[in-house]
């Protein structure tokens, strides 16, 4: 076989050129940086340049890149077998993992779980389970929410660009209500009032199968749902026999300083969707919920060929051990506090630009960039420039927000204080230079 002449290109720019020719533009990438290896909170690209990672592959590698304990668990599993299909000839790791999730999910009601492969699939299946249990059709989600890229999950998503443009029509019987964000003038009262209007104008509560809510909106801008809002949603669901689904795909697995973020509100959701941080980088997702509701679908109605892959289950069992032994849930709170003190000082220096900080949910931290200190004037270009400049200076940063003007920080829960400080030094330098320019 003749050597591929293009193989000599080992630069980021070379790979980006090949990527653009080979992979459709819909699957865009934030930074033209091609990773060769990662360890804990650091990455190295094909040019040998080092990056501090404040993104963890979008809240996935909470236990760090290539955590040696997870690598060992997966190696051990892959040497024994890598796939049989959990729906054909299952294996003990899936059962042990389900038992763990059932114990970790908030509340005392007996739980059961199912496994799938991606977050969007977990959302789809949670809705299927809620519909099977209630015999109802409607699903209520929130403006600014993000639930995935499959048709139903997109339908539930409350952010048009880039997720929904060009892709409709979406499944029917999905309704959106405003999500409470004080910074943008939507109070808990406003939001609940709109929900009750929806019950009068669009769908009777007795026709609603489920309400799905992120305890902290992720893609939408890292806005925590106020405790009283989640508590009132719980009451509404109880009053009308509606299944409450907490989408903990981004917030789960210790990220927010609780194992699941709804714990802040002290409520027990009926179903929880889980993915991302569950398996430290291996594709795995789950729905965990009240056993009576989870058992509504018929045998064979839920699943998928790769659902609960043995490799991912082995990784996830190790992730749970690591979180427990290294007390990473508590560590998330320390990380949040460290970011908060540095970001608050930065906000004091640039009050017109750093409009709002959100540091009250552990290591799910955000900084909203605006013009002239005005919440209604999102600094979209500055946000894009900051992400690009950080990358050029060795820091992986992610943005989010319905207007694309929020910098979100999602470091590994295993990151050292020294790396946090070094990353924030890079961030400060980049902001300073961009604002001076």
Ligand X SMILES: Cc1ncc(COP(=O)(O)O)c(C=O)c1O
> Which of 61, 123, 212, 426 touches ligand X by CB under 6 A?
123
Give whole-number Cα distances, 82 to 63, 68, 85, 90, 331, in Å: 22, 19, 9, 12, 33
Give 237 or 249: the residue with its C-beta nearer to ligand X: 249
Q: What's the Cα-to-Cα distance from 430 to each of 40, 135, 388, rounded to whole Å?
A: 24, 54, 10
Sole binder of ligand X in the list 53, 124, 232, 247 (CB under 6 A): 247
CB of 354 to ligand X, least distance (A): 24
Kindly state the smallest distance separating residue 381's Cβ from ligand X, in Å.
24
In angstroms, rounded to a whole number, what is the distance separating the alpha carbons of residues 317 and 97?
Answer: 6
Query: With b meaning 16 or more CB within 10 Å and e meaning fewer, what string describes 95-134?
Result: eebbebbbebbbbeeebbbbbbbbbbbbbbbbbbbbbbbb
Contact between 303 and ligand X by CB under 6 A: the answer reads no
| Joined tokens for residue 327 | 């007390």
Which region, judged by CB under 6 A, interacts with ligand X, from 144-152, 180-188, 288-296, 421-429? 144-152
Question: Which residue sits closest to ligand X, CB atoms considered?
Answer: 119
d(CA 69, CA 76): 11
Taking CB under 6 A as the criterion, the residue among 65, 111, 112, 147 binding ligand X is 147
Q: What is the DSSP string of 340-393?
A: HHHHHHHHHH-TTTEEEEE-SSTT-EEEEEEETTEEEEE-HHHHHHHHHHHHHT
Tell me the C-alpha distance between 305 and 25, whole Å. 28
Structure tokens at 372: 């002239």
The reply to whether 286 sits near ligand X by the rule CB under 6 A is no
Q: Least separation, in Å, of the C-beta of 147 and ligand X?
A: 5
Return the number of the residue (205 or 269) whose C-beta is nearest ligand X: 269
CB neighbours of 421 closer than 8 A, spacing ≥ 6?
338, 342
Residue among 315 and 424 whose Cβ is closer to ligand X: 315
How many angstroms separate the first and last alpha carbons of the chain?
52
Instruction: Please state the closest distance from residue 325 (CB atom) to ligand X, in A.
Output: 26
Is there binding between residue 115 and ligand X (CB under 6 A)?
no
Site string for ligand X, 24-63 (x = CB under 6 A): ----------------------------------x-----
Pick from 34, 146, 199, 306 the residue near ligand X by CB under 6 A: 146
Instruction: Tell me which stretch binds ligand X (CB under 6 A): 40-48, 103-111, 247-255, 314-322.
Output: 247-255
Among 120, 181, 311, 410, binds ligand X (CB under 6 A): 120
Q: State which of residues 249, 272, 390, 431 lies at the interface with ligand X (CB under 6 A).
A: 249
Tell me: does residue 124 bind ligand X (CB under 6 A): no
Q: How far is CA 170 from CA 155, 347, 394, in A?
A: 5, 41, 40
Beta strands in 167-314 (DSSP E): 174-177, 208-213, 216-217, 223-224, 243-247, 271-274, 285-290
Distance of CA 433 to the CA centre of its chain: 30
Q: Of 102-110, 140-148, 254-262, 356-364, which segment contacts ligand X by CB under 6 A?
A: 140-148
- Is the four-CA dihedral 184, 190, 196, 200 of positive or negative sign? negative
Write down the least CB distance from residue 364 to ligand X, Å: 11
User: Which residues partner with 217 through β-bridges?
Assistant: 223
205 to 224, contacts with ligand X by CB under 6 A? 214, 218-219
Note whether 365 binds ligand X by CB under 6 A.
no
252 in contact with ligand X (CB under 6 A): no
Residues near ligand X (CB under 6 A) are 58, 118-120, 123, 146-148, 214, 218-219, 247, 249-250, 275
């Amino acid at each position: 076989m003749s050597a591929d002449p293009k193989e000599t290109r080992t630069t980021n720019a070379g790979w980006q050129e090949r990527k653009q020719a080979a992979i459709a533009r819909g699957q865009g990438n934030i930074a033209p940086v091609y990773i060769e290896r990662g360890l804990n909170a650091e990455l190295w690209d094909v040019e040998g340049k080092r990056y501090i990672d404040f993104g963890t592959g979008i809240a996935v590698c909470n236990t760090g890149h290539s955590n040696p304990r997870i690598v060992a668990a997966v190696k051990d599993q892959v040497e024994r077998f890598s796939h049989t299909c959990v729906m054909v000839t299952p294996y003990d790791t899936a059962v042990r993992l389900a038992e763990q999730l059932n114990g970790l999910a908030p509340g005392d009601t007996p739980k059961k779980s199912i496994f799938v492969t991606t977050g969007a699939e977990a959302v789809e299946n949670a809705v299927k389970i809620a519909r099977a249990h209630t015999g109802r059709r409607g699903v209520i989600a929130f403006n600014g929410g993000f639930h995935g890229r499959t048709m139903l999950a997109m339908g539930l998503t409350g952010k048009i660009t880039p997720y929904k443009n060009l892709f409709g029509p979406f499944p029917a019987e999905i309704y959106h209500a405003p999500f409470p964000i004080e910074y943008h003038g939507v109070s808990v009262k406003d939001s609940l009032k709109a929900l009750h209007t929806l019950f009068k104008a669009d769908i009777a509560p007795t026709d609603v199968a489920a309400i799905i809510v992120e305890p902290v909106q992720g893609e939408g801008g890292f806005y925590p749902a106020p405790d009283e809002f989640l508590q009132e949603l719980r009451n509404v669901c109880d009053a009308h026999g509606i299944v409450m689904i907490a989408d903990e795909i981004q917030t789960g697995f210790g990220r927010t300083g609780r194992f699941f973020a709804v714990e802040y509100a002290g409520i027990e959701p009926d179903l929880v969707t889980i993915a991302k941080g569950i398996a430290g980088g291996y594709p795995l997702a789950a729905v965990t919920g009240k056993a009576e509701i989870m058992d509504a679908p018929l045998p064979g109605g839920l699943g998928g060929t790769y659902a609960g892959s043995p490799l991912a289950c082995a990784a996830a069992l190790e992730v749970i051990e690591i979180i427990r032994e290294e007390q990473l849930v508590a560590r998330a709170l320390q990380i949040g506090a460290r970011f908060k003190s540095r970001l608050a000082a930065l906000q004091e220096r640039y009050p017109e630009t750093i409009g709002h900080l959100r540091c009250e949910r552990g290591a799910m931290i955000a900084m909203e960039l605006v013009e002239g200190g005005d919440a209604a004037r999102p600094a979209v270009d500055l946000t894009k420039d900051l992400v690009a400049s950080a990358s050029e200076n060795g820091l992986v940063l992610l943005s989010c927000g319905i207007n694309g003007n929020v910098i979100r920080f999602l470091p590994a829960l295993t990151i050292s204080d020294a790396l946090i400080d070094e990353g924030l030094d890079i961030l400060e330098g980049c902001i300073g230079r961009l604002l001076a320019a």
